[in-house]
Chains A and B, each alone.
Chain A
């Protein structure tokens, strides 16, 4: 008997000890009950959710993505709360423990007997016997954890729910529209994957963390499209978002926009302004030293005007006046005063000959310039170099930078050598740029800036699409308007000559049958010279044949008349 295991001296505490023992058992029961009720609740919810999710997915109806999970979480909470409030009186715990531990109603009987204040010896013995057993009883032994049927069902249903939510609907079950959508998304995925890869590489090169994350996001999205995990609506939303982010990333990763000719000219203008003003002040100071107040006043006025005006022509005029005064005073050797404004205008007009002339004038610079004159020269050359940075003449800019360094060092010979190098660089750039103008391919619009970068501008064979055969000139009334081109680092300068027509929209100005002959001839010439890619020759031929047929029909009534 377990009576001996219990201290005999604590008889009055027997009820409390018995209840404490039962409390221990009850805690264990509550935990197991919570597990069971939670599983029951989860099974019930999942049992409803699985067919609902499948139905909604098949129908393509939207539902909040985390709604099943939220309801499941609520079910779990309900299960736990139910377990907490489930009535578990001492009598029930005692009866259950008696049954499970084989105690033969010891606990149940003791629980009833402890209520009686007057107990016989036999009743006391019952209580002590029960205490001895409850003292050694292990809650886990009395109420072991078992995987109940409810748990198995809940597990299976949750698995089913997860599968229904995560996996795409099999193609067999899709409607024709659904199949189309899935095929479309797969094609999109094939398109997105290389973009993502390219973005990843560029992000790695640029060290752009955001772009890297975007690349990963795109790859994930492509996978989702491939697996059919998204419906059309979600896919479109994601694509939209991705497009926005891609645009931002492209802007960040894109090389800085090259300077346009206008920008370079503008910069040069400002530099010219500053230079002119500085030179005028210098001459005014010299005049003041020599006591020529009139000259000083005029020069200071000149300086003021140079600072205010922004018109290149006005600047040129000012520069010429200043040059006269400089020549009169016999000061200021170095770059001609109007060098920068002239350079700016020539650049703006893309007058290569003028630019060549100006560059050649650098050769005439004296080699024995004073430190002051060298400093001024350095300033002017620096302004020129800075303006030409990141343009098509960037090589020239680099050489001018070297010349600046030489001037700063006070080494005229070195600076002269650097200027000669700059001249050579200019010739190289200009030659390349001039050739672009003379390029047949460019003129006919074939290469459109996609020719090889060796100045030849021959058509790159095998290229399709761009500038296949587009009549670039139509015989219309209207003057030629030059539009400024765009400098591209390392690339040809694209010049476009568009004929400005008074009415750009609406009907054409010339009947097509008047020009079709010329165009057909040009097309045949191109076809015979194999300037059209092989795959498109048939199309081109058919096109012009159809036009010719139309021409005969239209021309006939005129002839008959």
Chain B
């Protein structure tokens, strides 16, 4: 047992209770500003508590930026928004050394941190920046550090990147490379709100009072709760299910569905498995459990894996939806993994 592990089950119960309370408070607080988008909000919270980055895909005006900003307000985290444009340079993200004149008259290079030195980064329309600029974000997302002029600077935890992508304007964009996509724990699709939600949105945002989120947790609390979530137990057969699911997304795998074999060039990487397990752990704790269930894995499958499947030419030509492929993969693995007595 490691030192950071919760020592007793009473302490675990307390921590779990605190976790649930915080999540509920966060949901409530975010819900004051964001209308609807329950699944999006939940997945975002899961990703946040799992310590992962999120790629939000949706048409403009759905509240993606507002969501991220509201979250950072509720958690008292430093928020930075980076609007990605084709002419954005890496230094615009990471910061750069700037020649600075001292009062003594001497000049020296001083590092000016870029917007990436925040807790919550909103990378708006990330697919509009050049690959060079995108890769600057890549190191930060993976290493939680930035290297400028040979000097590596650690980013403050928690470090979360919420990138947005517009699925409509694909002209003149630079699709995110697979390596970068793989670093997002979730890809969340933001759908258009319903009529009732639209009514609510309009009512809230066009009145004289604009709701604002209040802080419900501190940075340290978020970090500690993330650590608690990591201690949730995973049974062998549940983990086996998750890993088989990842393998089922590979066309050469034994349990791959026919559609995967036909339309997928390359399946999810081990990061996909990590994302599944982490997300399932958080989900389990949110659901009043100390253990991960297969249902948690299944619930986390779509947001965890949809951006990790690389379609082949036929898949792209057919316009195959990765979500459908993942659902088939889940069904195939579930069929082979059902353990039940024959009565």
Contacts and interface: CB of A to CB of B under 8 A. Distances in A.
Given A3-B13, A120-B5, A143 B290 contact: no
A95 B339 contact: yes
Contact of B341 (A112, A120, A125, A143): A143
Interface in A95-142: 95-96, 98-100, 104-106, 108-110, 112-113, 118-129
B291 A33 contact: no
Interface string B3-18: 0011111111100100
Contacts of B292: 105, 109
Contacts of B338: 99
Contacts of A109: 233-235, 238, 291-292
A129 B341 contact: no
A88 interface: yes
B287 interface: yes
A102 B171 CA distance: 48
A96 B341 contact: yes
A92 B337 CA distance: 12
A432 interface: no
Interface string B314-343: 000000000000000000000000111111
A120 B231 contact: yes
B343 A121 contact: no
A88 B290 CA distance: 26
Contacts of A287: none
B277 to A, nearest CB: 13
Given A95-B237, A109-B235, A33 B9 contact: no
B319 to A, nearest CB: 36
A320 to B, nearest CB: 106
Interface in A1-52: 1, 3, 8, 29, 32-33, 36
Contacts, number: 110
Contacts of A127: 9
Of the four ranges (under 10, 10 to 19, 20 to 34, 35 or more), the interface on chain A belongs to 35 or more
Nearest to B291: A109
A181 B338 CA distance: 60
B178 interface: no
A7 B174 CA distance: 60
Contact of B235 (A29, A36, A108): A108
A93 interface: yes
A33 B343 CA distance: 6
B342 A105 contact: no
B16 to A, nearest CB: 7
A36 B342 contact: yes
B209 interface: no
A96 B339 contact: yes
Interface string A136-175: 0000000100000000000000000000000000000000
A110 B291 CA distance: 9
Contact of A105 (B6, B291, B341): B291
A318 B288 CA distance: 129
A100 B294 CA distance: 14
A257 B13 CA distance: 103
A33 B341 contact: yes
B8 A95 contact: no
Contact of A121 (B12, B235, B237, B284): B12
Given A36-B343, A121-B8, A122-B231, A105 B236 contact: no
B1 A105 contact: no
A1 to B, nearest CB: 6
B289 to A, nearest CB: 6
B7, B235, B343: most-surrounded residue (chain A CB, <10 A): B343
Contact of B1 (A33, A36, A100, A120): A120
Contacts of B11: 121
A29 B340 CA distance: 11
A98 B341 CA distance: 12
Nearest to A31: B343
B221 interface: no
A122 B289 contact: no
Interface in B1-53: 1, 5-13, 16
A101 to B, nearest CB: 12
Given A29-B341, A120-B231, A126-B291, A108 B12 contact: no
Contacts of A3: 9, 13
B295 interface: yes
A357 to B, nearest CB: 102
Contacts of A124: 8-9, 12
B235 A105 contact: yes
A96 B342 CA distance: 10
Contact of A143 (B8, B231, B343): B343
Given A3-B13, A106-B289, A129-B290, A122 B235 contact: no
A269 to B, nearest CB: 90
Interface in B288-306: 288-296
The 3 closest A-B pairs by CB, nearest first: A124-B9, A121-B6, A104-B293
Interface of A: 1, 3, 8, 29, 32-33, 36, 88, 91-93, 95-96, 98-100, 104-106, 108-110, 112-113, 118-129, 143
Given A92-B339, A93-B341, A106-B291, 14 more contacts: A36-B343, A88-B341, A91-B237, A99-B338, A104-B295, A105-B237, A106-B289, A109-B238, A112-B235, A120-B6, A121-B6, A122-B233, A123-B290, A124-B8
21 contacts: A33-B342, A91-B237, A92-B340, A99-B339, A104-B284, A105-B235, A105-B237, A106-B291, A108-B238, A110-B291, A112-B235, A120-B6, A120-B12, A121-B7, A121-B12, A121-B231, A122-B232, A123-B290, A125-B9, A128-B9, A143-B343
